[in-house]
A and B are shown apart, each in its own frame.
Chain A
């Protein structure tokens, strides 16, 4: 799961759970059934976990674009200026 996928999964999880909670409470209150509230919410939790817990393909639409290893060789690291650092004895 890429970075944007993680953010999406997190937000989707919170939004879906809250939405199911509101729907469940309103339904339960108006039809006067506590059991119905619990059933709707339990269904919502299961659905939400199916959507946001597994690593679905749509969470991987923004893969990180790593630089090609050959690019690295074309742009070598800037060498440290010679400031008589005893610990660094780089030879290259």
Chain B
């Protein structure tokens, strides 16, 4: 019974079990990392403001986004997805979140950046509440690991 095939099968099974265990440990090791990212977004200009025919407000702005997300990267990080959301309150919705810009950061070397851009996605309100409305700019991120648990968090990006 102790044949070539039997030994190869036993070895492969044991090797893959250990591999799964190593991946689990790699995922758990991410908890040892306590990230301290920083981000600042400046609204440089309101390019235009319009009321759409259906009554919704739409704004175009020029943004300057600078962020240092290097501390989010560990040895088990595949990539990081970030998006900038405008958050505000209206009578209709207690929380409006509108994504203005997003990006995929493929490596630690690219995680300290600044970008000068107008909003990538249209900033349209559900209604006509945007005129002289205060809103918070919040940077959200999702850390995608090579193995294991995905982490997500956010921070206030107002200067």
Q: Give chain A's interface residues, CB within 8 Å of chain B.
A: 1, 6, 9-10, 13-14, 17-18, 21, 24-25, 28-29, 32-34, 37, 41, 45, 48-49, 52-55
Q: Which single member of B8, B14, B19, B25 contacts A53 (CB below 8 Å)?
A: B8
Q: Cβ of B18 and Cβ of A53 under 8 Å apart?
A: no
A41 and B19 in contact (CB under 8 A), knowing A25-B25, A32-B75, A34-B26?
yes
For residue B138, give the distance in angstroms from its CB to the closest CB of chain A.
Answer: 30
Q: How far is the CA of A1 from the CA of B4 in the complex (A)?
A: 10
Chain A positions within 8 Å of B116 at CB level: none
Q: Counting CB contacts under 8 A, is B155 at the interface?
A: no
A interface, over-half SS? helix
Which of A6, A48, A55 meets B11, CB within 8 Å? A48
Q: Which residues from B are CB-within-8-Å of A13?
A: 7, 10-11, 14
**B2 CB within 8 Å of chain A:** yes
- CB-CB contacts below 8 Å: B76-110 with A: 76
Q: A25-B22, A34-B146, A37-B22 are in contact. Are A49 and B8 (CB under 8 A)?
A: yes
Q: Tell me the complex Cα distance, A8–B14, Å.
A: 16
Whether the Cβ atoms of B11 and A52 lie closer than 8 Å is yes
Contact B10 A10 (CB under 8 A): yes
Assembled-state Cα–Cα distance A25/B25 (Å):
9
